[in-house]
Amino acid sequence: MSDTAVPEGNKLVFELKDGKVVIELRPDLAPLAVERLKLLASEGFYDGVKFHRVIEGFMAQGGDPTGTGTSGSSYPDLKAEFTKEAKFERGTLGMARTMSPNTANSQFFIMFEDVPSLNGQYTIAGKVIEGMENVDKIKRGAGSSGTVKDPDIIVKAYVEA
């Protein structure tokens, strides 16, 4: 593991080019994913990381240090923490994964719109409570893959109480 202690507080802040996004984390729904997000933010892992996959009307995905969507942190993958208590609505932060449910690591996505088909299929770790207008300004990608040319980045990520 890391020498970095997981910070207290359940607000994850992303500073983007257009302003701050504040996400209320939900350790009651996804304690493992929330701890991972907080740990990585406190280590500076997300600083400068690209939103590599952004699909209009769907979501913005980031959290891959390579910016390709194929990588994650050096920590082990997380067990799925699916819930029926929360839904994939506009502003929801979910954990990205491969086809295998237990592969969430560092990548996440923020919903632009409600997408009920994701409910119970991905871990929900939080919801945007401030700055959704800044999420809406993230540069969109092309085609069904949503691959972004010259993507926007997370300028800085941190946890606050």
* pLDDT at residue 152, as a whole number: 98
Q: Read off the pLDDT of residues 135-146 as tens digits, 9 standing for 90 and up.
A: 999 999 998 899
pLDDT one-digit tens code per residue, 40-78: 999 999 999 999 999 999 999 999 999 999 999 999 999
Share of residues in the chain with pLDDT > 70 (%): 98
Domains of the chain: 11-160 (2.40.100.10)
Q: What is the mean pLDDT of the chain?
A: 96
The angle subtended at Cα 9 by Cα 28 and Cα 136, nearest 5°, is 80
Closest CA to 84 of 110, 122, 58, 112: 122
Q: Round to whole Å and give the CA distance between 40 and 54.
A: 21
**pLDDT (average), residues 5-26:** 94
For residue 16, give both structure tokens.
């983007």
Q: State the DSSP string of 65-111.
A: TTSSSS---SSPPBPP---SSS---TTEEEE---SSGGGBSS-EEEE
1 has a pLDDT exceeding 70: no
The helix (H) or strand (E) run that includes residue 12 is: strand 11-16
**Confidence tier at 16 by pLDDT (50, 70, 90):** very high
Read off the pLDDT of each residue in 2-7 and give the average, rounded to a whole number.
66
- pTM equals 0.95
Q: Tens of pLDDT along 87-133?
A: 999 999 999 999 999 999 999 999 999 999 999 999 999 999 999 99
The confidence score (pLDDT) of residue 4 equals 62
